[in-house]
C-alpha cells in the first residue's frame, strides 16, 4: 500500500473500538465475556492457531441503492489441535445461520461475539479432531462502510450532474473482517473463490478473471470468478461499478486492464503502457513468472491511501493513475509511474511472499518503495528517479530523529498500533537501509539474494531473519568477487565472515540512526558513533550501537573506500594525507556525519571553489547534515549558513531542493511570531541566493524531467515570495488564461505558480474555484486546490474552512473527503490560515475519527504549544490520545521552540553581517 501523499500529515485511520484492547501483561488475565453474557473462549487479540483456513467460497450481494450488502461464506479448515471452538474475525456485521459441514453431517454452531477484539467464536458440541478437515458456513449482512475501509461506498458526479455510486474494497491492514467473516491475519493464507451478484447496469471485478455469469431471478446477474492463488485476506479485492476499461497484453501473456469512470477513461493510456512495461520488467528481474493471468488497475473516486496492491486488482487514487498528456506535469508523470511500480513490485514482495505479522510491515513496504527506484531507473531512464531517492532518506530521518520514533520492526498488537506502522519509517527508512545493504553487498549479490528469498518463500510468510539468511548465503562468495572487479574498491573489513543478520538487526530492531563523528589527523581518521537525536536530553542517546558500512573518498583519490564500523569508536588510515575527506559517498548509507576539527571548514572551501568535485547527492547530504547538526549543538548555525552560500552556483535538483528544505523552515519558524524584520531578512537571503537560477528559468515545458520539476519548484517559490519578475510574468499568464475563460493552454509545469498568483485577488480566486469545479483532470484540480488554500485573502480562507473546502468535504460535496487532510495541512501552513485550520481540527475531531480521516498537523509555533497540549491532553485513549504522531507533534513543537531560542541571535548576527558585506561589495 502506498501511503496517502500528504505533506506534514501523518494519516492514522483509527477505530475507537480497537484501542486499549489488551490487558497489561503484568496483570492477571480476566475472563472475557461475550455480548450475550457467556464466557468467551479466547482472551487474546491474535487468533489461536488451533485451526487454519485453506479455502473460502465467498458469495456477496451489494445493493448500491440501499447501500448495504449480504453474503454467504463457506470456509474449509484444517484442524491442528483438538478443539470445540473456532475463533475468527467479524466486525460490525450481523452473522446468522452458522453451520458446521462435517463428514458426519450438517449441524448448527453456537456463535459468541466479542466486538472489542472483532472476534467470533463458533462453538461445536463435539470435538473437532486434529488432522481432519471441516467446513463452516456463515451468512452475514452489513452496511457499506461510509469510511474508506472495508467494503465501502464511493461516488462521483458525472458531467451531467448525476451522482453515480459504486462499491469498492480496502482491506489492509485489518478491514477484511468488516466485509466478511474471516481469519484476518496475514499468516492465515488461503485460496478464495468469489461470486458477486449485481445489477446489469454494473460490472464486477475481483482478484481473478471472471469465468462465467449466471442470470438470477429478478433480473440480477451473478459473476463467478476463478479461484485465487494462496494469499492473505488483506489482499482480497472486489469492485462493483459502472467503470469502463482499456486493455493490453504483456510480453509474458498477462492481460493488463485499466478501469476508470467513463468520462476519464481517455486519461488511462499512459498508466496502461507503464503497467505493461513494469510487469514485464519484474517478471524478468525476479526470475519468477507473475502467477495470475491478469492484472487490473482501478482508479477509485474515493480512496484515502495512495494505492493498494491487492493481488491481480490494484487500486489507486485517481491522481495516482490518470494522466492527461496536455494537462499533467512532469512531476505527475513521475508520481504516477512510481505508484504503479510500487504496487506491481508488491505482487512479489508482499503478495507472493508476505510478512508473518505486521511488525515486519517494512518487508513489504520498504521493498516496494526501494523497487520503485530500481525498476524505473531501468525501464524509464528519462524520469531520472535517482535524482529523487535521497529525499526519501531525508524524510525518514526527520521522523527517525525524534525520541518517539520506532524501530523498523516493532511489536504491534491492536489495529490502531498496526495502522501506525504505515509511516515514513516503514516505507522510506526501509527503502534506504535496503539501498545501503545493496551498496554494501554489491548490486549483483543483492539481486541474487532477493531472488533466492522470493523463490524459497513463495506463497509463505516470513520474518526479518529469512531475508538475512537468503542474502548471507550468496554474499560471502559474490561480494568478494564483485568487489574485486571494481576499480580499486577496497574490502569492507578484514577477517570476520560476513553476517548480514548481525549487521541488519542493528538497523531494524532499534529505532533511530547513527551520527558518525570523523576527526582527521594527518593520515589517521578517528571515528566514533552515537545516536542522532533532536533533544537536549543526552541520556536518550545512550546504549545504541550500529554496524555501519562506512564509505569515504578524499581529495587525493576518486576511489570509494569502505570500512565496516562495528564498535563505538574506530581508527582507519588514509593511503595519503588529503585536503578534505567526504564520508557516506552519495549518501548511500543511512547515517549522518559530523566533521570535527577543521573538517567542515575544508568542505565549505571545496564547495565554494569547486563544488562539482562532489556529486549532487554528496552536496545534498552535506547541506542536510550540517543544518541538522545545528539542532544538537554540534555545529554552529553560522557555519551551516556559510556552507549554504555556495548554493548561488548550484543547479542540480537534489542539492537545490535540499537547500530550500533547510533554509525555508528557518523563516517558517518566525512567520507566526512577532519578528517580521528577521523573517523578511531570511526570505530575502533565500531569494538572493537562488536569484540567478530563478532568472534562468523559462516559462515553458522544455527540458528533462528533473529540470522541469525544478522549474516548477523555483517559480512557485519565487512567486510565493513576491519576486517581482515572477509575479509579473505569472500575473500576465493568469490574466490571459482567465480572459479566455480557461481555454488558453498554459505550460503545464508552471501552472502552480500562475494559479497561486491568480488566487491572490477575489476575482481570480473565484474564477479558479469555478474551474476547479468543472475540471475532469485530477492533477489540474490538485494544483488549483493547493493554490486556493495558500491565498492571502483572509475572507476566502475563512470561507474555505467554514463553508466549502473543509466542512462540505465531510459530506463529499465540493471536494472529496479523501482530500480533506491535505487541505487542512495546506491551510495550516498559510500564515493567514493556520488558526482557522487548528480551530477546524478541534471542532471536528470526533467526526474525523469516526470517518477515519485522522491526522496530526504540526503547529510548530510557541503560540499554539499550550493549546496543542491542552487539546490532545484532554482526549481519551479511544479518541486517539496515545497515537504516536501526537507525541511526534509535541516533540517537534518543543524542538522548534528550543532551536529558535538558541539560534535566533546567531541568525540575526549572520544576516546582518552578510548585509553589510554585500553593501560593501556593491560600493
Tell me which residues are annotated as active site.
343
Contact criterion met (CB below 8 Å) for 150 and 182: no
- In the sheet that holds 313-317, the strands lie side by side as 244-249, 255-260, 294-300, 313-317, 307-308
Q: Which residue has the cell 519509517?
A: 425
DSSP state at residue 790 = T
Distance, in Å, from the CA atom of 619 to the CA atom of 655, rounded to the nearest integer, reads 6
Give the three cell numbers for residue 135. 467446513
Give the three cell numbers for residue 87. 475463533
Q: Is 36 exposed, middle or buried (0-12, 13-18, 19+ CB in 10 A)?
A: exposed
Residues 6+ apart with CB under 8 A from 714: 656, 690, 693, 694, 697
365 is in an annotated binding site: yes
Sign of the torsion angle spanned by Cα atoms 431, 435, 437, 441: positive
Distance of CA 330 to the CA centre of its chain: 20
| Closest to 124 measured CA to CA, from 191, 185, 51, 64 | 51
Q: Which pairing describes strands 353-355 and 460-462: parallel, antiparallel, or unpaired? A: parallel
| Closest to 171 measured CA to CA, from 231, 245, 261 | 231
**Side-chain half-sphere of 397: how many Cα atoms within 13 Å?**
24
**Side-chain half-sphere of 838: how many Cα atoms within 13 Å?**
21
List phi, psi (to 5°) of 754: -65, -45
Contact criterion met (CB below 8 Å) for 868 and 897: no
DSSP state at residue 33 = B
| Closest to 432 measured CA to CA, from 467, 402, 391 | 391
- Residue 794 three-state SS: helix
Distance, in Å, from the CA atom of 371 to the CA atom of 528, rounded to the nearest integer, reads 32
Distance of CA 609 to the CA centre of its chain: 38
- Integer CA distances (angstroms), 200 to 60, 216, 397, in order: 15, 11, 52
Distance, in Å, from the CA atom of 676 to the CA atom of 841, rounded to the nearest integer, reads 27
Give the three cell numbers for residue 851. 470517518
Give the three cell numbers for residue 805. 473546502
Q: Which pairing describes strands 294-300 and 255-260: parallel, antiparallel, or unpaired? A: parallel
Query: In the chain, what's the furthest Cα-to-Cα distance?
Result: 102
- Integer CA distances (angstroms), 662 to 618, 635, 687, 791, 898, in order: 15, 14, 14, 24, 17
Q: 546-564 burial, b for 16+ CB within 10 Å, e for fewer?
A: bbbbbbbbbbeeebbbbbb
342 is in an annotated binding site: yes
Residues 6+ apart with CB under 8 A from 450: 286, 367, 467, 470, 471
- Integer CA distances (angstroms), 818 to 701, 806, 814, in order: 30, 11, 12
Beta bridge partners of 213: 223
Give the three cell numbers for residue 23. 490487558
Distance, in Å, from the CA atom of 140 to the CA atom of 604, rounded to the nearest integer, reads 68
| Closest to 402 measured CA to CA, from 544, 509, 532 | 532
538 is in an annotated binding site: no
Determine the Cα angle at 503 with ends 497 and 506, to 5°.
155
- In the sheet that holds 238-241, the strands lie side by side as 150-157, 163-170, 238-241, 203-206
Q: SS3 sequence, 119-148?
A: EEEEEEEEEECCCCEEEEEEEEEEECECCC
Annotated binding site for Zn(2+): 342, 346, 365
Annotated binding site: 342, 346, 365
Amino acid at each position: 500500500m502506498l501511503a496517502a501523499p500528504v505533506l506534514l500529515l501523518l494519516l492514522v485511520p483509527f477505530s475507537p473500538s480497537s484501542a486499549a484492547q489488551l490487558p497489561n501483561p503484568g496483570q492477571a488475565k480476566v475472563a472475557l465475556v461475550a455480548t450475550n453474557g457467556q464466557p468467551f473462549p479466547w482472551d487474546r487479540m491474535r487468533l489461536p492457531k488451533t485451526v487454519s483456513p485453506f479455502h473460502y467460497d465467498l458469495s456477496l450481494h451489494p445493493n448500491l441503492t440501499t447501500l448495504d450488502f449480504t453474503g454467504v461464506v463457506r470456509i474449509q479448515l484444517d484442524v491442528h489441535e483438538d478443539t470445540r471452538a473456532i475463533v475468527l474475525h467479524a466486525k460490525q456485521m450481523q452473522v446468522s445461520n452458522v453451520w458446521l459441514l462435517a463428514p458426519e453431517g450438517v449441524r448448527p454452531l453456537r456463535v459468541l461475539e466479542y466486538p472489542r477484539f472483532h472476534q467470533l467464536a463458533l462453538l461445536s458440541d463435539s470435538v473437532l479432531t486434529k488432522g481432519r478437515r471441516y467446513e463452516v458456513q456463515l451468512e452475514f449482512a452489513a452496511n457499506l462502510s461510509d469510511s474508506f475501509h472495508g467494503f465501502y461506498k464511493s461516488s462521483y458526479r458525472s458531467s451531467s450532474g448525476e451522482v453515480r455510486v459504486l462499491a469498492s474494497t480496502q482491506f489492509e491492514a485489518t478491514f477484511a473482517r468488516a466485509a466478511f467473516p474471516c481469519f484476518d491475519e496475514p499468516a492465515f493464507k488461503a485460496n478464495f473463490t468469489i461470486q458477486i451478484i449485481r445489477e446489469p447496469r454494473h460490472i464486477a471485478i475481483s482478484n481473478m478473471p471472471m469465468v462465467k455469469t449466471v442470470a438470477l431471478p429478478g433480473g440480477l446477474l451473478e459473476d463467478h470468478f476463478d479461484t485465487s492463488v494462496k494469499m492473505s485476506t488483506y489482499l482480497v479485492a472486489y469492485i462493483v461499478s459502472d467503470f469502463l476499461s482499456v486493455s493490453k497484453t504483456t510480453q509474458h501473456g498477462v492481460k493488463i486492464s485499466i478501469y476508470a469512470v467513463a468520462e476519464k477513461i481517455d486519461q488511462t493510456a499512459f498508466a496502461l503502457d507503464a503497467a505493461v512495461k513494469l510487469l514485464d520488467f519484474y517478471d524478468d528481474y525476479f526470475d519468477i513468472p507473475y502467477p495470475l493471468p491478469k492484472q487490473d488497475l482501478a482508479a477509485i473516486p474515493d480512496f484515502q491511501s495512495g494505492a493498494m496492491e491487492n493481488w491481480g486488482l490494484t487500486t489507486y487514487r485517481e491522481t495516482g493513475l490518470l494522466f492527461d498528456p496536455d494537462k499533467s506535469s512532469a512531476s505527475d508523470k513521475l508520481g504516477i509511474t512510481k505508484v504503479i511500480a510500487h504496487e506491481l513490485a508488491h505482487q512479489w514482495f508482499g503478495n507472493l511472499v508476505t510478512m508473518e505479522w505486521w511488525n515486519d510491515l517494512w518487508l513489504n513496504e520498504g521493498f516496494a518503495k526501494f523497487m520503485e527506484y530500481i525498476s524505473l531507473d531501468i525501464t524509464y531512464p528519462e524520469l531520472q528517479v535517482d535524482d529523487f531517492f535521497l529525499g526519501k532518506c531525508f524524510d525518514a530521518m526527520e521522523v527517525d530523529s525524534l525520541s518517539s520514533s520506532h524501530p523498523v520492526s516493532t511489536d504491534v498488537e491492536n489495529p490502531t498500533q498496526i495502522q501506525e506502522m504505515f509511516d515514513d519509517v516503514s516505507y522510506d527508512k526501509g527503502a534506504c537501509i535496503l539501498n545501503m545493504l545493496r551498496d554494501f553487498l554489491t548490486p549483483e549479490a543483492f539481486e541474487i539474494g532477493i531472488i533466492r528469498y522470493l523463490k524459497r518463500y513463495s506463497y509463505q510468510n516470513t520474518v526479518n531473519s529469512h531475508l538475512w539468511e537468503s542474502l548471507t548465503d550468496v554474499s560471502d562468495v559474490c561480494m568478494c568477487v564483485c568487489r574485486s572487479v571494481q576499480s580499486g574498491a577496497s574490502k569492507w573489513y578484514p577477517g570476520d565472515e560476513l553476517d548480514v543478520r548481525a549487521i541488519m538487526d542493528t538497523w531494524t530492531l532499534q529505532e533511530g540512526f547513527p551520527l558518525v563523528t570523523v576527526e582527521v589527523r594527518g593520515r589517521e581518521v578517528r571515528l566514533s558513533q552515537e545516536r542522532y537525536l533532536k533533544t537536549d536530553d543526552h541520556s536518550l542517546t545512550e546504549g545504541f550501537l550500529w554496524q555501519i558500512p562506512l564509505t569515504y573518498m578524499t581529495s587525493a583519490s576518486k576511489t570509494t573506500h569502505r570500512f565496516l564500523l562495528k564498535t563505538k569508536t574506530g581508527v582507519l588510515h588514509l593511503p595519503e594525507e588529503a585536503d578534505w575527506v567526504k564520508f557516506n559517498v552519495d549518501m548511500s548509507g543511512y547515517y549522518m556525519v559530523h566533521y570535527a576539527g577543521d573538517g567542515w571548514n575544508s568542505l565549505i572551501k571545496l564547495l565554494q571553489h569547486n563544488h562539482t568535485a562532489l556529486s549532487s547527492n554528496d552536496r545534498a547530504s552535506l547541506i542536510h547534515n550540517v543544518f541538522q547538526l545545528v539542532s544538537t549543538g554540534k555545529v554552529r548555525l553560522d557555519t551551516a549558513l556559510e556552507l549554504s552560500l555556495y548554493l548561488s552556483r548550484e543547479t542540480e535538483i537534489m542539492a537545490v531542493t535540499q537547500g530550500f528544505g533547510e533554509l525555508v523552515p528557518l523563516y517558517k519558524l518566525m512567520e507566526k511570531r512577532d519578528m517580521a524584520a528577521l523573517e523578511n531578512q531570511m526570505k530575502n537571503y533565500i531569494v538572493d541566493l537562488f536569484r540567478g537560477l530563478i532568472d534562468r528559468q523559462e516559462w515553458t515545458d522544455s527540458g528533462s524531467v528533473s529540470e522541469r520539476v525544478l522549474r516548477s519548484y523555483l517559480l512557485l517559490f519565487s512567486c510565493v515570495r513576491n519576486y517581482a519578475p515572477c509575479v509579473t510574468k505569472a500575473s500576465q499568464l493568469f490574466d490571459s488564461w482567465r480572459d479566455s475563460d480557461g481555454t488558453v493552454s498554459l505550460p503545464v509545469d508552471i501552472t502552480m505558480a500562475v494559479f497561486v498568483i491568480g488566487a491572490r485577488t477575489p476575482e481570480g480566486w473565484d474564477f479558479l474555484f469555478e474551474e476547479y469545479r468543472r475540471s475532469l483532470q485530477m492533477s489540474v484540480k490538485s494544483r488549483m486546490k493547493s493554490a486556493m488554500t495558500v491565498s492571502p485573502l483572509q475572507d476566502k480562507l475563512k470561507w474555505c474552512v467554514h463553508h466549502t473546502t473543509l466542512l462540505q468535504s465531510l459530506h463529499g460535496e465540493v471536494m472529496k473527503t479523501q482530500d480533506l487532510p491535505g487541505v487542512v495541512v495546506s491551510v495550516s501552513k498559510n500564515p493567514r490560515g493556520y488558526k482557522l485550520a487548528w480551530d477546524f481540527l478541534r471542532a471536528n475531531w470526533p467526526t474525523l475519527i469516526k470517518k477515519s480521516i485522522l491526522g496530526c498537523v504540526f503547529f510548530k509555533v510557541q503560540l499554539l504549544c499550550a493549546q496543542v497540549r491542552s487539546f490532545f491532553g484532554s482526549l481519551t485513549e479511544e479518541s486517539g490520545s496515545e497515537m504516536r504522531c501526537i507525541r511526534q507533534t509535541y516533540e517537534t513543537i518543543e524542538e522548534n521552540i528550543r532551536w529558535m531560542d538558541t539560534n535566533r541571535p546567531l541568525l540575526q548576527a549572520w544576516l546582518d553581517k552578510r548585509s553589510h558585506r554585500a553593501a560593501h561589495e556593491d560600493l
